[in-house]
Amino acid sequence: MPSAPVKPDSYLEISDLWKSFGDFVALRNISLDVARGEFICFLGPSGCGKTTLLRAIAGLDPQSRGTIHQDGRDISRLPASRRDYGIVFQSYALFPNLTVTRNIAFGLENTGRPRAEIATRVAELLALVGLADHADKYPAQLSGGQQQRVALARAIAISPGLLLLDEPLSALDAKVRVHLRHEMKELQRKLGVTTIMVTHDQEEALAMADRIVVMNHGVIEQIGTPTEIYRDPASLFVADFIGETNRIRCRYSDGAVTIGGSVLHTRTAGHRDGADVMMAIRPEDVLPHSTGHDAVKRPNHLAAQVTGMEFLGSFWRMHLRSAELGDTPLLANFSMNAVRRFDLHQGDDLTVELPPDRVLIFAQ
């Protein structure tokens, strides 16, 4: 079968990839171009196929159908040992009986390089991941974050063309995770190595990725930059999975939806007049407009009441109710300044604005 031509700027090209386990189809019709030096995250709920896709790229569990090209070379049928990548797993998978130095040197020793060259390279890597003082320790003598740095150094030791990361941070506690994700991102940028990371942590994906591949039930739901995915989710699934959304059932007509007596204009087009749709808006896009209900006749404004408020440090989480929405509560994140300016308390009436460019409409 002729293979797909590789575009000049793409380093990894996956075309129409499928993977089945017996009758179960774990991946269907996956196509993806990864640019040289790009940091890609596969993000999705448990069981959506992220790890299966990563393992197919690594040749650890080859695809049932479809092709993979890396740097212009068709690697679709190449065994894992002949592919050009380094990999880091969630469980650091270090050799417990080898020192940090020996763990990092392991892959290099198999390449038959001279000892002096290996020693120089290991010293370089130890400095790069900030473990120069721990060279002679054993894995058990290191913290989780330090062990994962060793695993990372080992993966990049042979300067692979591709770095594969399978939930590398999820075994670490929250503080270490946030710190290490910043370090890993910096290191990736410095090395310029094309990287694919599997994660189910949306914040991690938003913070680290150049582009995110959102997966669900074995298919790609959306590929985009973190801001594209967050601001313009392609489906209700993406809107719900990444960040929070208020969801309200309503009817679409001529670029707007009607909720009770209020008209909400939206920039979302392409729905049939009279269609039942789901309106979605993020809590931070629900804006306080004024106290009382004087402005409610204007489009994109709703009369509401504060039914609860929680101080969450950098903002207030507001629980609102609006007669227009019936029983559906509306969540809003207001800044501390806004709460102070409008002098808001539980039980107060207010008018909120839902800006047209933030009102998203999806088919139900």
* Residues forming the site for ligand ATP (CB under 6 A): 21, 24, 26, 44, 46-52, 200
Output the smallest distance, CB 164 to ligand ATP, in A.
13
CB of 215 or CB of 361, closer to ligand ATP = 215
Residue 52 or 246 having the CB closest to ligand ATP: 52
Q: Closer to ligand ATP at the Cβ: 195 or 268? A: 195
Give min distance, CB of 214 to ligand ATP, in A.
11
Distance CA 280, CA 300 (A): 13
Q: Which is nearer to ligand ATP, 200 or 249 (CB)?
A: 200
CB of 162 to ligand ATP, least distance (A): 18
CB 58, min distance to ligand ATP, A: 12
Query: Smallest gap, in angstroms, from Cβ of residue 114 to ligand ATP?
Result: 40
For ligand ATP, give the closer residue by CB, 49 or 139.
49
Nearer Cβ to ligand ATP (49/145) = 49
The answer to whether 13 and 6 are in contact (CB under 8 A) is: yes
**CA–CA distances in Å: residue 239 to residues 100, 202, 271, 281, 287:** 43, 12, 18, 9, 19
Of residues 106 and 237, the one with the C-beta less far from ligand ATP = 237
Beta partners for residue 163, in sequence order: 86, 195
Least gap, CB of 44 to ligand ATP (angstroms) = 6
- Minimum distance, C-beta of residue 264 to ligand ATP, in the bound complex (Å): 35
Measured at the CA of 234, the angle between CA 268 and CA 166, to 5 degrees, comes to 160
Closest separation between CB of residue 22 and ligand ATP, Å? 7
Closest approach of ligand ATP to the CB of residue 238, in Å? 15
Q: Nearest-CA neighbor of 220 among 60, 67, 42?
A: 42
24 or 133: whose CB is closer to ligand ATP?
24
Considering just the CA atoms, what is the radius of gyration of the chain in Å? Answer: 25
The structure tokens 């009770």 sit at 260
Q: State the minimum distance, in angstroms, from the CB of residue 21 to ligand ATP.
A: 3
Our CB check for ligand ATP shows the closer of 27 and 259 to be: 27
Closer residue to ligand ATP, CB minimum distance, 49 or 59? 49
